[in-house]
Amino acid sequence: MRSIKPTLPKGTRDFNPLVMAKRNHIVSVIEGAFELNGFQQIETPAMENLTTLTGKYGNEGDQLLFKVLNSGDFLLKADRGSLEDEDSARFGRSITEKGLHYDLTVPLARFVVMNRNDIHFPFKRYQIQPVWRADRPQKGRYREFYQCDADIIGSDSLVNEIELLRLFDSIFRDLSLDVEIQINNRKILEGLAIHYEVGGRFTELTIILDKLDKVGIKGVCEELERNDFPTQMIEMFSKDVASGTLEGNKALDIIEEWFNFANIQVGQKGVQEVRELMSAAASDKVKLKLLLARGLDYYTGCIFEIKSMETEFGSLGSGGRYDDLTSLFGLDGVSGVGISFGLDRIYDVMTELDRFPETVDDNADILLVGFDDQCILKSLDYADTIRKAGIKCEVYPDKVKFKKSMKYSDQRGFKYVGIIGEEELKLDVIALKDMSTGDQEELAVSKVIDRLKG
Amino acid sequence: MRSIKPTLPKGTRDFNPLVMAKRNHIVSVIEGAFELNGFQQIETPAMENLTTLTGKYGNEGDQLLFKVLNSGDFLLKADRGSLEDEDSARFGRSITEKGLHYDLTVPLARFVVMNRNDIHFPFKRYQIQPVWRADRPQKGRYREFYQCDADIIGSDSLVNEIELLRLFDSIFRDLSLDVEIQINNRKILEGLAIHYEVGGRFTELTIILDKLDKVGIKGVCEELERNDFPTQMIEMFSKDVASGTLEGNKALDIIEEWFNFANIQVGQKGVQEVRELMSAAASDKVKLKLLLARGLDYYTGCIFEIKSMETEFGSLGSGGRYDDLTSLFGLDGVSGVGISFGLDRIYDVMTELDRFPETVDDNADILLVGFDDQCILKSLDYADTIRKAGIKCEVYPDKVKFKKSMKYSDQRGFKYVGIIGEEELKLDVIALKDMSTGDQEELAVSKVIDRLKG
What is residue B332's three-state secondary structure? coil
Report the pLDDT value the prediction gives residue A277, as an integer from 0 to 100. Answer: 94
User: How confident is the model at residue A399, as a pLDDT?
Assistant: 84
Interface test with A, best of B7, B43, B54 (most A CBs within 10 A): B43
Tens-digit pLDDT profile for residues A63-102? 999 999 999 889 999 998 898 898 999 999 999 999 999 9
Residues B129, B147 contacting (CB under 8 angstroms): yes
CB pair distance less than 8 Å for A393 and B36:
yes
Along the 454 residues of chain B, how does pLDDT read in single tens digits?
456 689 999 999 999 999 999 999 999 999 999 999 999 999 999 999 999 999 888 888 899 999 999 998 899 999 988 988 989 999 999 999 999 999 999 999 999 999 999 999 999 999 999 999 999 998 889 999 999 999 999 999 999 999 999 999 999 999 999 999 999 999 999 999 999 999 999 999 999 999 998 899 999 999 999 999 999 999 999 998 888 888 777 889 999 999 999 999 999 999 999 999 998 887 889 999 999 998 777 899 999 999 999 998 889 999 999 998 999 899 999 999 999 999 999 999 999 999 999 888 776 799 999 999 999 999 999 999 999 999 999 999 998 778 888 899 999 999 999 999 999 999 999 999 999 999 999 999 999 999 999 8
Q: Please, which residues bridge with residue B69 across strands?
A: B96
- With a cut of 80, say whether residue A295 has pLDDT above it: no
CB B376, CB B370: distance < 8 Å: yes
Q: Which of B3, B21, B111 is the closest to A329 by Cβ?
A: B3
Q: What is the Cα–Cα distance from A446 to B98, expressed in whole angstroms?
A: 52
Residue ranges of domains in chain B = 17-65+102-178+310-353, 366-453
Helix (H) or strand (E) holding B270: helix B265-281
Contact B40 A24 (CB under 8 A): no
Note the pLDDT tens digit of each residue in A226-277. 999 999 999 999 998 888 888 777 889 999 999 999 999 999 999 999 999 9
Identify from B163, B169, B374, B382 which residue to disrupt to test chain A contact, counting A C-beta atoms within 10 A and taking the largest count.
B163
Give residue B445's identity as a one-letter amino acid code: V
What confidence score (pLDDT) does residue B363 get?
65
Identify the closest residue of chain B to A111 by CA–CA distance. B14
Q: Rg for chain A (alpha carbons), in Å?
A: 28
ipTM over 0.90? The verdict is yes
Average of per-residue pLDDT across A34-39? 95
pLDDT score of A359 more than 90: no
| CB spacing of B14 vs A44 below 8 angstroms | yes
Q: What is the pLDDT of residue A350?
A: 97
- Asked if A391's CB is within 8 angstroms of B49's CB, the reply is no
Testing the interface with A: which of B159, B173, B283 to mutate, by most A Cβ within 10 A?
Answer: B159
**Mutation site for B-interface testing, chosen from A394, A411, A415, A453 by largest number of B Cβ within 10 Å:** A394
DSSP string, B343-401: HHHHHHHHHHHT-S-GGGG----EEEEESSHHHHHHHHHHHHHHHHTT--EEE--S---
Average pLDDT over residues A153-174: 95
CB B97 within 8 A of CB B50: yes
Sequence letter at residue B315? S
Query: Which residues of chain B have a CB within 8 Å of the CB of A90?
Result: none
CB contact under 8 A, B17 and A40: yes
- Phi and psi at B395, nearest 5°, equal -110, 125
- Find the CB nearest A20 among B42, B71, B100: B42
Least CB-CB distance to A159: which of B37, B155, B397? B397
Sheet architecture: strand order including B302-308: B40-41, B123-132, B144-153, B336-342, B315-322, B302-308, B179-185, B286-288
Which CATH entry fits the domain spanning A366-453: 3.30.470.10, 3.40.91.50, 1.10.3720.10, 3.40.50.800? 3.40.50.800
Cβ distance A396 to B122 less than 8 Å, yes or no, reads yes
pLDDT confidence tier of residue A2, bands split at 50, 70 and 90? low
User: Tens digit of pLDDT for each residue in B368-388?
Assistant: 999 999 999 999 999 999 999
Q: Which of B88, B166, B325, B343 to mutate to test the interface with A (most CBs of A within 10 A)?
A: B88
Superfamily classification of domain B17-65+102-178+310-353: Bira Bifunctional Protein; Domain 2 (3.30.930.10)
Determine, for residues B113 and A6 on separate chains, whether the beta-carbon distance falls below 8 Å.
yes
- Closest chain A residue to B332, measured at CA: A3
Amino acid making up residue B359: T
Residues A391, B113: C-beta atoms closer than 8 Å:
no
Q: A177 and A307 in contact (C-beta within 8 Å)?
A: no
Nearest CB to B394 within list A124, A166, A394: A124
* Whether B393 and A37 lie within 8 Å, measured CB to CB: yes
Phi/psi at B133 (5° precision): -140, 130
Q: How far is A238 from chain B (nearest CA, A)?
A: 34
Concatenate the DSSP letters of all residues of B119-136 into one string.
--SSEEEEEEEEEE--PP
Identify residue B34 by its one-letter amino acid code: F
| Chain A residues touching B66 at Cβ < 8 A | 47, 68-69, 71
HSE of A293, CA atoms in CB hemisphere, 13 A: 20
Q: How close, in Å, is residue B308 to chain A by CA atoms?
A: 24
DSSP-derived secondary structure for A219-256: HHHHHHHHTT--HHHHHHIIIIIHHTTTBSTTHHHHHH
Task: Report the alpha-carbon distance of residue A110 to residue A44 in Å, rounded.
Answer: 10
Check residue A321 and give its pLDDT: 97
Chain A to chain B, count of Cβ pairs less than 8 Å apart? 287
What is the secondary structure of A265-314 as a DSSP string?
A: HHHHHHHHHHHHHHHHH--TTEEEBTT---S-TT--SEEEEEEESSS--S
Q: How far apart are CA B175 and CA B357, in angstroms?
A: 10
Instruction: Say yes or no for a CB contact (<8 Å) between B166 and A380.
Output: yes
**Would you call A67 and B66 a contact, using CB atoms and an 8 Å cutoff?**
no
Which pLDDT belongs to residue B209? 93
User: In angstroms, what separates the C-alpha of B262 from chain A's closest C-alpha?
Assistant: 25
CA distance A319 to A349: 19
Distance set, CA A5 to CA A128, B70, B111, B324, B327 (Å):
33, 21, 11, 15, 10
Torsion, CA A241, CA A243, CA A248, CA A254, rounded to 10: -60
Find chain A residues with C-beta within 8 A of B95's C-beta: 69
Contacts of A412 in chain B (CB under 8 A): 120
Q: Do the Cβ atoms of B66 and A45 come closer than 8 Å?
A: no
pLDDT of residue B3: 60
Q: Are B183 and B288 in contact (CB under 8 A)?
A: yes
Output b/e per residue, B369-390; b: 16+ Cβ within 10 A: bbbeeebbbbbbebbbebbeee
Residues A336-356 have pLDDT tens digits of 999 999 999 999 999 999 999
Residue B259 and residue B195 in contact, taking contact as beta carbons nearer than 8 Å: yes
Q: What interhelical angle do A373-388 and A445-453 show, nearest 10?
A: 50
How far, in Å, CA of A180 to CA of A169, rounded? Answer: 9
